[in-house]
Amino acid sequence: MKSSAPRTRWAWTAATFFGTGFLRPGPGTWGSAAALLLWLGAAAWWHPSRTALAVGTALAALAATLVGIPAATIVARESGREDPGFVVLDEAAGQWIALLAASPARWQQWLLAFLLFRFFDILKPPPARQFDRMHGGFGIMMDDVAAGLYALLAGVLATRFL
């Protein structure tokens, strides 16, 4: 990381998911865990219906993605890295997508969503791998959005058939 380069504060705050991306080891796992904890906290605090929780989660994932694309682009440029590991807002967006069908009252569902998202984020099956090869914030964000969609689908199928 370039230490003398100026930092765009909002972009670094958002892209690192409020500094979570600087935790070691495995900043992506920490970013996913932080997103999961926020989701569980929101569900415990507001006690939303299942539909309201799913809508709120989808809106959070969409907002993270829309903010994350320009933020990740700026942070990648300012850090001099194509896909900085400390950018973890993409993990938060993908994790929230993976949680869309989970119930906070059923720990097996949200744990499965967490594990499946991490699995697909690391594996990066197509088209996630193709997104990962794109430059800038779009590629940084969209490979995790794709991994979240894979995890959501796998979690729904597992819950339905197991």
Q: Is residue 9 domain-resident?
A: no
Q: Is residue 40 domain-resident?
A: yes
pLDDT in tens, 58-112: 999 999 999 999 999 999 999 999 999 999 999 999 999 999 999 999 999 999 9
Q: Is residue 85 domain-resident?
A: yes
Q: Is residue 6 domain-resident?
A: no
Phi, psi of 87 (to 5 degrees): -80, 110
Q: What is the mean pLDDT of residues 114-137?
A: 90
Q: How many domains does the chain have?
A: 1
User: Does the pLDDT of residue 1 top 60, yes or no?
Assistant: no
Range of the domain at 157: 14-161
Q: Which bin fits 27, alpha (ψ -120 to 50), beta or left (φ > 0)?
A: alpha
User: Does the pLDDT of residue 7 top 90, yes or no?
Assistant: yes
Q: Is residue 153 domain-resident?
A: yes
Q: Is residue 39 domain-resident?
A: yes
Is residue 3 very low, low, confident or very high in pLDDT (cuts 50, 70, 90)? Answer: low
Q: Is residue 1 domain-resident?
A: no
Q: Is residue 4 domain-resident?
A: no
Is residue 4 very low, low, confident or very high in pLDDT (cuts 50, 70, 90)? Answer: low
Mean pLDDT, the chain, whole residue set: 94
Could you tell me the pTM of the whole model?
A: 0.94
